[in-house]
Amino acid sequence: MSASMFRFFVCLLTCSLKSSVSEELKASPGEDVTLQCSGSREGSIRLLQWIKPDLRSESYVYFVRENRPYEIYQHPSFHGRVELRDPQMRNGDLSVILKNVRVEDNGTYECKAKIGDGTLKLINTIPLTVDEVGGNKGLYIAAGGAGLLLLLGGIIAIVASAH
């Protein structure tokens, strides 16, 4: 394997690894947490959906269409506890504040948005852990990240043995 090909694989794997590492939020019951999401700074936000897939419901954590929040589409457990960090969503800030978190809020949250005439796209996925110990932000490495590290190690071993 040539040196340039090796650099290409290392770059490819490093870029892939970065996309599979998400910040995990940890909190104690009663705290407020910010679920971060940044959309495009260009174009208007036509639709914003914050969902929690494990709710197994058609309801949302938070739902905005044409700059208007719709609490009617919100899951009852989130009523009165979620708001946009920036109600005008300036500079593409689609983050929400989840107030007074509960152990039942544990899970993965997804931010999806439709910007301009585009299609609805997944922008960010955030794991949240609420427990009695709580606090302290950590890093969550998705299962794919560990696999990429093993693959990278294997490629380095192959290249090293070839020289």
Count of other CB atoms within 10 angstroms of residue 50: 26
Pairing of strands 107-115, 121-130: antiparallel
Average pLDDT over residues 135-152: 37
Distance in angstroms (rounded) separating the CA atoms of residues 77 and 98: 11
Distance in angstroms (rounded) separating the CA atoms of residues 108 and 22: 11
More confident residue, 135 or 109: 109
32-45 pLDDT, tens digit per residue, is: 999 999 988 888 89
Per-chain mean pLDDT for the chain: 76
Tokens 């948005």: give the residue.
113
- The C-alpha angle with vertex 33 and arms to 50 and 54, in degrees rounded to 5, equals 40
pTM over 0.75: no
Q: Residues 38, 93: contact at Cβ < 8 Å?
A: yes
56-65 pLDDT, tens digit per residue, is: 888 999 999 9
Q: What are the tokens at 160?
A: 């090293």
pLDDT for 23: 77
SS (H, E, C) the chain: CCHHHHHHHHHHHHHHHHHCEEEEEEECCCCCEEECCECCCCCCEEEEEEECHHHCCCCECEEEECCEECHHHECHHHCCCEEECCCCCHHHECCEEECCCCHHHCEEEEEEEEECCCCCEEEEEEEEEECCCCCCCEEEECHHHHHHHHHHHHHHHHHHHHC
44-92 pLDDT, tens digit per residue, is: 899 999 999 988 888 999 999 999 999 999 999 999 999 999 999 999 9
More confident residue, 138 or 35: 35
Average pLDDT over residues 94-98: 97
Banded pLDDT at 142 (limits 50, 70, 90): very low
- The C-alpha angle with vertex 112 and arms to 47 and 73, in degrees rounded to 5, equals 60
